[in-house]
Structures are given as C-alpha cells and as structure tokens.
Amino acid sequence: MPKPYSVITEEIKDALKGKVGEERAREIKRLLKEIHWDVGDYKRLKDKLRRELAEIEKIEQARKASKSRTKTKKSTPQFCVVGAVNSGKSTLINNLAGTEIPVESYPFTTAEPQYGALEYDAINFQLVEIPAIYEGGWSGDKSTLGMIYSTDCLIIMGRSLEDFELVLKELAEQNIDLIGDRLSDGFIQTIPRKIPAFLVFDKDTTILPSSHLKKISSDEFEEIKQNMIKLTKPVRIYTMNSFNEIEEQPIVFYKDQITVKEVIQKVYRVTEESFKDAVLLEGGPNGRRKRVGITYELSDKDVIHLTFHK
C-alpha cells in the first residue's frame, strides 16, 4: 500500500531542506529509489525530482569544469547576475559578453540559467544569469540557490529601490554575507557564506539602497568590467620562454600572497630542488630587473624568467 501523496511530499521537503549541490543530488537519487509507484501524482512528483536532479548535475558538471580550468594559465572566476523581474540581467550579459540571450518586456523571460563568457584585461570571466528573484522563491528552488552559494561573485541588478531591497533581503535570509572584494585567501567556501558583490542600477533609478557595496550604472560597461577586476583582485604572473619572450597569457592566482614556488608548482612539472634562480621584471616588461629566490612574493603583472638545474 503506497503512502499517501501528501505524506510523501512532506517527507521530501524535510529530506531536501537545507541541502544544495551534490548533497541535494544524492538525496534526490535516494528518494527516487524509495518512490516505487510511477502513476498519477506519484509519476508527476518523480518527474519533477528527475528534472531538478538533471539541472543540479548540469550545474555541478559546469562547476567542476570551471574548477579544472584553474589548473591552467587561465583561471575563470564566475559571476552570477541576480535581480528582480525585468531588472536588465539579460541585457547586461549580452552587452558584456556579446551573447544573444532573449530579452522581452514580459516577466520571467529567463526560466533557467543562461551563460556568457567575457575576456577582459587578460582575465576570463564566466557570467551566469540566474532566473528572476521573487519573495520566498528559493524555498522551492534549491538548485538555483545552490548556484548562488557556489559562485565566486555576484552582480546584483535593479531598476528601483524596491528591486534592490527584495534581492538583498532574500540573500540575507539565506545567510549570505555580501562583501566588497574577495577574501585574502581566494574564493573559499565560508560558513556563513561570504560572496564578493557589487550593485548595477538602471540610469533612471532615483533612489539607491544604503549599502557598503560599490554602485555602478548599467550603461557604464567599462566601469563594470574594471570593477570585476577590482573585486576579484587577480594576481597575473607572466612567464618568459627560453628565447626570453614574454608569454601572451599570464598565470592567474586569486589570493594575496603568491611566491615563486607557487608558480613553479602550478606550471612546471619539476621538483623544488630543480629550481636554480629567477629573474624578475617588476610590474611588467619595463619594470625594474632583479634576481629573486624561490620564496620571493610576487605582485600583479610581474614578469618572471625561471631557470632550473639540468
């Protein structure tokens, strides 16, 4: 005899409460195994769980792919663009990334996450548009909330004071603390969650919320890009090849203290004992030239030529 449908739905809500990402996916798989009936309301419930599971798995795959790229010379910070209905999220990503996300005048045009890519000042950014936030919407949409929890940074959009107050309230209720720039040791998962963020407002907005976060007009694209760099604080280290030519793409780090040793560990498959010496051009090709050791701390846009014992 199957359990009553109302009982099962309550059990599912309790089982999934507070779970996001891979943990939520595992719980959904367990629940699907336990619901043996595949007709009527039970079938619709299982179909809903399967759809959510597929969405979570797609997000997690994209997230893992993004993390794997951090092992290369190009790291990719992810910015989630969040806002109320018709706040201009799609338009902003289209303008920044050259995408063609549909833009319509009616609400909830974007029903699922949309992606774009932006390269600026030697940094690749991934832009993700999150479906419109509405009051209490995350109580039944944990997969979208999971994306926000796992992102590196947030761009919060609004066309009115009410738009911003809604989004800031919903984020605060989910125990998300918004900060002005990344933490000193990078994009780590903190509890409570601390996410670097800034506000982007429509040029006709008359009143803006009182907030410590940076505020930029939505038509100031260059300033928005510059603030993405400022918010993520990348440390870009350029290396030189055996012909003393500076490599076009830098090695990118997202923490405050980077040493020569960390560059070697990230790029070269050699032991620390193989290191011979390093010649540094401070701040770029025209910077002061100096010889440094393996523990020397590097700065953004330094150029380094490494040599190793044969």
Beta carbons of 35 and 47 less than 8 angstroms apart = no
CA distances from 237 to 177, 227, 246, 261, 290 (A): 30, 20, 10, 12, 15
Q: Are 93 and 81 in contact (CB under 8 A)?
A: yes
The average confidence (pLDDT) of the chain is 85
Across the beta sheet with 275-281, the strand order is: 251-253, 235-239, 303-308, 275-281, 289-292
Query: Percent of the chain at pLDDT above 90?
Result: 45
The pLDDT value recorded for residue 67 is 46
**CA 54, CA 198: separation in Å to the nearest integer?**
31
Percent of the chain with pLDDT over 70: 86
User: Does residue 192 have a cis bond before it (omega within 30 degrees)?
Assistant: yes
Mean pLDDT of all residues in 270-274: 83
| Predicted local distance difference test score (pLDDT) of residue 64 | 56
pLDDT at 56: 67
Least confident of 44-53, 125-134, 159-168: 44-53
Write the CA distances from 212 to 44, 199, 215, 249, integer angstroms: 45, 10, 9, 34
**In this structure, which amino acid lies at residue 56?**
I
Q: Using one digit for the tens of pLDDT, what is the confidence trace for 183-237?
A: 999 988 887 899 999 999 998 898 999 999 999 999 999 999 999 999 999 999 9
Provide the pLDDT confidence category of residue 102 given band limits of 50, 70 and 90: low
pLDDT 10s digits, 27-86: 888 888 888 878 888 888 888 888 878 766 755 665 554 444 433 334 689 999 999 988
Query: How far apart are alpha carbons 218 and 158 in whole angstroms?
Result: 9
Tell me what pLDDT residue 290 has: 95
Domains of the chain: 5-60 (no CATH), 73-232 (3.40.50.300), 235-308 (3.10.20.30)
Model confidence pLDDT, tens digit, residues 234-261: 999 999 876 778 988 899 999 999 999 9
**Residue 127 DSSP label:** E
In angstroms, the Cα distances linking 167 to 5, 49, 135 are 34, 27, 8
- Highest mean pLDDT: which range of 93-107, 260-274, 292-306: 292-306
φ/ψ of 276, rounded to 5, equals: -105, -65
Q: Which residues, other chains included, contact 127 with Cβ-Cβ below 8 Å and sequence gap of 6+? A: 78, 79, 81, 93, 96, 97, 115, 116, 117, 118
Residue 278 predicted with pLDDT over 50: yes
Q: What is the dihedral of CA 237, 265, 245, 255, to 10 degrees?
A: 0
Give the separation between CA 74 and CA 202, rounded to whole angstroms: 32
Residues 276 and 251: beta-carbon distance below 8 Å? no
| pLDDT score recorded for residue 251 | 92
Rounded Cα distance between 206 and 197, Å, is 21
Question: Which contiguous run of DSSP H or E holds residue 138?
Answer: none
Residue 293's pLDDT is 95
Alpha carbons 164 and 198: distance in angstroms, whole number:
11
